Amino acid sequence: MSETRAPWIGTLVALLLALGALIFSAQTFRATPAKIAQITRRQADWLQLRQASAKRTADRATLMEMTRSGSATPLAEILRAQRPSWAAEVREKEREPITENWSLQRAQVTIASVNLADLGKTLDALAAERPPWRAAEISISASEPGTARVSLLMEGLVQKPTSAQ
């Protein structure tokens, strides 16, 4: 009698294994589109990051080309030359090295009382400098009629000082 049960047990085990494989295959088949979509999104994100990195590198190379002729004028000197009546407080903040000789300088500029039309003209002039200065953040607080207190976070390229050897 034990000989007649043995073939059924083997068949039953084989059927259970086949059913398990079929269920696993169905679950894998059902999850495949989501996995493909995830891979596609990650690839698109990677391409976007790569493009952003290439653009940043190209922008920095362009700025370096514009500044090959010599050192940049300090921001405080530019502001004094353009707007001698302004009492502008310029505090240098962190520097981010770009190349061996150049850094991205951030400076906090506070002007107690300024006409906003003059501010716009001055920001345009700073952007036209070689190398240019740009306003990364602007904070304006109204003070007297027609004037305001302005706080700017400016960014520009500066050449590292050469060490005397």
Task: Please tell me the predicted confidence (pLDDT) of residue 58.
Answer: 85
Task: Kindly state whether residue 79 falls inside one of the protein's structural domains.
Answer: yes
Task: Kindly state whether residue 135 falls inside one of the protein's structural domains.
Answer: yes
- Final residue of a structural domain among 46, 66, 86: 66
Terminal alpha carbon distance of the chain: 102
User: Is the pLDDT assigned to residue 147 strictly greater than 50?
Assistant: yes
**The two structure tokens encoding residue 40:** 């596609």
Question: Are 94 and 128 in a shared domain?
Answer: yes
Q: Please check whether residue 128 is in contact with residue 69, taking contact to mean a CB–CB distance below 8 angstroms.
A: no
User: Is the pLDDT assigned to residue 164 strictly greater than 50?
Assistant: no
Q: Establish how many alpha carbons lie within 13 A of residue 98's alpha carbon, considering only the half-sphere containing its beta carbon.
A: 23
Give 125's contacts (C-beta < 8 A, 6+ positions apart): 82
Question: Are 144 and 84 in a shared domain?
Answer: yes
pLDDT digits 0-9 by tens, 93-140: 888 888 787 788 899 999 988 888 888 888 888 888 877 888 899 999
Question: Are 80 and 60 in a shared domain?
Answer: no
- 10 Å CB burial of residue 97 (0-12, 13-18, 19+) is exposed
Question: Are 27 and 92 in a shared domain?
Answer: no
**The two structure tokens encoding residue 64:** 């370096």
Task: Please tell me the predicted confidence (pLDDT) of residue 1.
Answer: 46
- Final residue of a structural domain among 42, 66, 90: 66
pLDDT digits 0-9 by tens, 87-106: 888 998 888 888 787 788 89
Question: Are 93 and 142 in a shared domain?
Answer: yes
Query: In which domain, by residue range, is 102 found?
Result: 75-159
Sheet of strand 88-97: strand arrangement: 88-97, 102-114, 148-159, 133-142
Question: Are 82 and 9 in a shared domain?
Answer: no
Task: Kindly state whether residue 164 falls inside one of the protein's structural domains.
Answer: no
Pairing verdict, β 148-159 and 133-142? antiparallel
Identify which of 79, 148, 69, 73 has the alpha carbon closest to the alpha carbon of residue 109.
79
